[in-house]
Structure 1
Amino acid sequence: MSKISQLLMINQNKIEILQKGQNGTPIIILTGMGCSFDEWYEVTESLSKTNRVIMFHRPGLGASEIRNEVRNTQTVVNEVNEMIHLLKLSEPVVLVGHSYGGLCVQHFVKKHPEKVAGIVLVDSTSVDLKVLDDLNLPVLNEGATDEFWMEKCRSYSQMKREELREVINPTLTKKQKLLPNDIQKRIMNFQINPSLYKAMYSEISNWKRDGDIIKNLVVYPDIPLIVISRDKEHNIKLGTMEGLPEWELRLFEEKWQELIMNQVNLTSNSKFIIAQGASHSIHFDRPDIIVQSINKINSFFN
């Protein structure tokens, strides 16, 4: 099994690429907003036994450079397309997208359908994400609006690493502490990079507009699709344990799951899966379901 981390020049930025494995259909995984590809260690270790797995840090994340370009899903589409070219991937790939990465996947497959063999959306951001703003959630929305996070990201982007370390005080979850020591260290350092928050500011600024743009593009190609949703009841339970009102949590989680379920209609060759016992971070809570889903997609054309 090969494991190569490298920097590629993509659209004038040095971009950090992770590759594992050498055989089988190429699998490209796009992480969520503000998330490191190191968080997907368990998933990529398993998949790389049979497939070539590729991940990258969008500009501003990890060791990837960022300039002053607009960070939106179209920019990510261009970067993934250039990466496919530079890595000489001649066959269609399996695209996997978590959260914001799933929104980018939805955009890519509409722009370059001939380059995609199958899709796995992991609790993916919906193209209709702006409807969540219409929910009456006075407690949940306190300190959780786009405007709030954009201001926080703007502030963090202007700090130095040591200032961020003091403000954020990064910690590892129980599951992250089970990862190899070098991965743990990388995840900790990932969070105290000012460029990360510069990227997030721009992504948040544009993602609702991106959703509208993606909706208005041509229809999906009729390729295999698996849509994975987090466990609604599990998340409601976690929220109530933190003292949040159950009625707000239920209202939000029911709308979120409705939006996820709507993604099943993107193709006629699709399947919906609820990751029992999983939060939004399904790659931590139920990596087995992600691996099984990707292998299921692979079985369609292998």
Structure 2
Amino acid sequence: MKIIKWVKRIAMALLLIIILLLITGFIFEKISRSLAEKIKPDGQFAEVENHKMHYLKEGKGGPTVVFETAFDPAGHLQWYHIQKDLPKNYTTFSYDRSGILWSDRGTNQKTGEKMAEELHLLLEKANAPKPYILVGHSFGGMLTRFFVKKYPKDVAGVILVDSQYPADEKFLSPQMHKMVNQGLPGGFLKFANIFGAARLMFKNMFPATAEYKFQNSVMPALLYKSADATLEEQDHMKAIKAEAATVNSFGSVPLYVITAGDKTRYDSFIKDQKLKNEMLEAWDKMQKDLLNLSADSKQTIVPNSGHYINQDQPKVIEDAVNDMVKKITVK
């Protein structure tokens, strides 16, 4: 009987500790959100179909290099340093998709076509000079397909940065396909977002260096806004991939495919060597197949970079952008 009493006491004590932690986390989150509202946006806003969208525009004149972010709550911050480093004799443009960072969520569905429409309208509202060079990383690379399909006359070039391949089931075994498409634990992250744990989990998305101090302060602070929209994009991922797979040609629009080449980039989450080798080989095949999107395409493999080439080897992207600008303006 004494053991049962002690077990009950311990269980009650643990329950009280959990409740106190949740209350503390909830208060911490409320205070953090209040402080986050005081952070001054680094860009500008435009009204897009009854909601405000945030963008960062640098330089003057055409063409406009348009950066599309991955499946990522950091929004335009992933391109921040690259955009600042590029020349100012043409325009560069990054933005936060609806619901991410400083952009309002709005009411449009998270479909590839709607996201392309919002971006196009935002570019026009921001007076970004045409034509556009689209630069898309990962999921953002896949989203460029919708923009090219809907606005082909406005697109002068495309740069895919370790882009997602929508029909990945062609190159992956069922086991690997399930593994790479399982996504984030949405229910848990929504719960963690209420009680302050999510911002702690994602506080080191960028390198912990002085160079990334701005990104490391803004992204976690505004995660409470970005998390829901990012998870909503995940909910629509299967449909977006299926639709993107039907867009299989950019015509003769110049296309650069930049591919991560670090053979150890999957070591942290794929322990089985056979599966890791399968993923490396499949990714290489998918990246090469992306070249078939255009009659004018070339690939650059970045040996010492993982998936986030914009952090690991930003100069490769900067050189590709400058080369593409030169290519389309010399004509």
TM-score, normalised to structure 2's length? 0.78
Q: Conserved in 2, the CA contact under 8 Å of 1:39 and 1:187?
A: no
**Aligned-pair distance for 1:36?**
2.8
Among candidates 85, 98, 102, match of residue 63 of structure 1:
102
Among candidates 300, 313, 321, match of residue 273 of structure 1:
300
Cα deviation 1:71-118 (Å, max 9, x = unaligned): 121121111111122123352111100011111112111111101010
Cα distance between partner residues in 1 of 2:214 and 2:42: 15
**Residues 161 and 85 of structure 1: is their aligned pair in 2 closer, same or farther, counting only changes over 3 Å?**
farther
**Residues 216 and 4 of structure 1: is their aligned pair in 2 closer, same or farther, counting only changes over 3 Å?**
same
Among candidates 243, 246, 251, match of residue 221 of structure 1:
251
Letter in structure 2 aligned against 1:170: K
- Please tell me whether residue 249 in structure 1 is matched to residue 276 in structure 2: yes
Among candidates 182, 187, 197, match of residue 219 of structure 2:
187
**Residues 137 and 4 of structure 1: is their aligned pair in 2 closer, same or farther, counting only changes over 3 Å?**
closer
Deviates more, 1:40-49 or 1:241-250: 241-250
Cα distance between partner residues in 1 of 2:160 and 2:275: 25
* Identity level (%): 19
Mapping of residues 92-107 of structure 1, within 5 Å: 92-107=131-146
Q: What is the match of residue 290 of structure 1?
A: 317
Mapping of residues 129-278 of structure 1, within 5 Å: 129-131=168-170, 134-137=173-176, 141=179, 145-146=181-182, 149=184, 152-157=185-190, 159-160=193-194, 162-166=196-200, 168=201, 170-171=203-204, 173=206, 175-179=207-211, 181-190=213-222, 192-193=223-224, 195-217=225-247, 219-236=249-266, 239=267, 244-278=271-305
Q: Which has the larger Rg?
A: 2
Q: Conserved in 1, the CA contact under 8 Å of 2:145 and 2:247?
A: no
Deviates more, 1:24-33 or 1:84-93: 84-93
Cα distance between partner residues in 2 of 1:17 and 1:298: 21
Letter in structure 2 aligned against 1:66: R
Cα distance between partner residues in 2 of 1:196 and 1:132: 32
Cα distance between partner residues in 2 of 1:131 and 1:280: 21
- Does the residue aligned with 2:299 lie in a helix, a strand or coil? strand
**Residues 40 and 88 of structure 1: is their aligned pair in 2 closer, same or farther, counting only changes over 3 Å?**
closer
**Aligned-pair distance for 1:49?**
3.2
Cα deviation 1:6-29 (Å, max 9, x = unaligned): 121112221111112224421110
Deviates more, 1:64-73 or 1:263-272: 64-73
Cα distance between partner residues in 2 of 1:261 and 1:58: 28
Q: Conserved in 2, the CA contact under 8 Å of 1:232 and 1:253?
A: no
Structure 1 gaps of 5+ residues are none
Q: What is the match of residue 21 of structure 1?
A: 59
Cα distance between partner residues in 2 of 1:170 and 1:90: 35
Structure 2 gaps of 5+ residues are 1-40
TM-score, normalised to structure 1's length? 0.85
Cα distance between partner residues in 2 of 1:251 and 1:235: 13
Deviates more, 1:211-220 or 1:16-25: 211-220
**Aligned-pair distance for 1:248?**
1.1
Q: Conserved in 2, the CA contact under 8 Å of 1:19 and 1:54?
A: yes
- Does the residue aligned with 1:15 lie in a helix, a strand or coil? strand
Letter in structure 1 aligned against 2:96: H
Among candidates 45, 53, 78, match of residue 7 of structure 1:
45
- Does the residue aligned with 1:105 lie in a helix, a strand or coil? helix
How many corresponding residue pairs?
287
Q: Conserved in 2, the CA contact under 8 Å of 1:130 and 1:208?
A: no
Letter in structure 1 aligned against 2:51: N
Mapping of residues 123-134 of structure 1, within 5 Å: 123-131=162-170, 134=173
**Residues 157 and 8 of structure 1: is their aligned pair in 2 closer, same or farther, counting only changes over 3 Å?**
farther
- Does the residue aligned with 1:124 lie in a helix, a strand or coil? coil
Q: CA RMSD of the aligned region, Å?
A: 2.6
